[in-house]
Amino acid sequence: MDTSADERDYKLLDQDKYTFSVMSRIIRGDLELCLTDHEKLIICFSGQPYPVWIWTPDGAIEEDMERAYQIAKENSFLDGEHHFNIKYELAEYFIKRAAEDGLDLKITTNLFAYDCPDPIAPVSVIDGELHQCTDEDVDVLVEFFDMFHTELNIDQESREQYRLYVEDGIKTGSLYTWKNGDGKIVASCNWHPVQEMASIGLVYTLKEFRRKHYAEHLVYEVTKIVQDSGYLPMLYTDADYVASNKCYEKIGYILRGKLCTIG
């Protein structure tokens, strides 16, 4: 196994460009671990608290799935502290194989991958407006980052690290919020380019302002910005969060792929 990715790996990930778009982005950056045979298996890990990404082709044979399992085991990823983003067939194999080793793995999140080639304007009427974040919003946005990751129980980091993310998002102009009619920030959203696509994330609405369509309008507006910037908008959702998925589908998002998180 090689310890760095190249164009061969990028082409492999293009086979699953929706479900593995995030992996396609992070594999080009600084990684704690990258292992690939450039053909049937790519494993990358950027560091805690992020998931270990494992790519295998559709219809992977048992021999290849066992190799993925053994590599995960050799790198101490089966210690109960790590989780994996993988295809369902590999998830089933990992769960079965781990049980043989006396380990309890299970699916923790079912993920849908959507894209939006033709955004549809919301029909709901709400108060407020889109706001591109500035330095004055840093403290509020650190709170949003913290609430988002705590509520979803994913990728939790320190407030100092969230502050760095916020400052970077403001600098690149990729961080947006919705301000209601009273000028209060009630929802957040950001986006990151991934080759010809751009991934929309950090979609979070304050609890007391939910079911008022703020996120629907915010995501629509950011989707248009992404599209006007020359990218195909896409996003991941929790497949079990029905209300959120319906919101995205209303504004033109189309389900393109499925994967899961196990841990």
- What residue has token string 């090689």? 2
- Model pLDDT, residue 170: 97
Backbone angles phi, psi at 193, to 5 degrees: -70, 140
- Model pLDDT, residue 209: 96
Residue 114 lies in a domain: no
According to DSSP, the residues that pair with 201 across neighbouring strands are 190
| pLDDT tens profile 222-237 | 999 999 999 999 999 9
Residue 242: which CATH number? 3.40.630.30
Shared domain check, 60 and 149: no
Shared domain check, 158 and 100: no
What 3-state class would DSSP assign to 242?
Answer: helix
Q: How many CB atoms lie within 10 A of CB 62?
A: 9
Report d(CA 245, CA 29) in Å as an integer: 30
pTM exceeds 0.85 for this model:
yes
The CA angle 238-22-185, to the nearest 5 degrees, is 60
Shared domain check, 101 and 175: no
Residue type, 228: D
Tokens of 153: 């129980």
Shared domain check, 253 and 135: yes
**Average pLDDT, rounded, for the chain:** 95
The domain of 154 spans 129-257
Shared domain check, 250 and 136: yes
Tally DSSP H helices, then E strands, for the chain.
Answer: 8, 11
Report d(CA 136, CA 60) in Å as an integer: 50
Given a cut of 70, the residues of the chain with pLDDT beneath it are: none
Shared domain check, 97 and 140: no
According to DSSP, the residues that pair with 217 across neighbouring strands are none
Shared domain check, 160 and 201: yes
* Inter-residue contact 94 to 263 (CB < 8 Å): no
Total domains present in the chain: 2
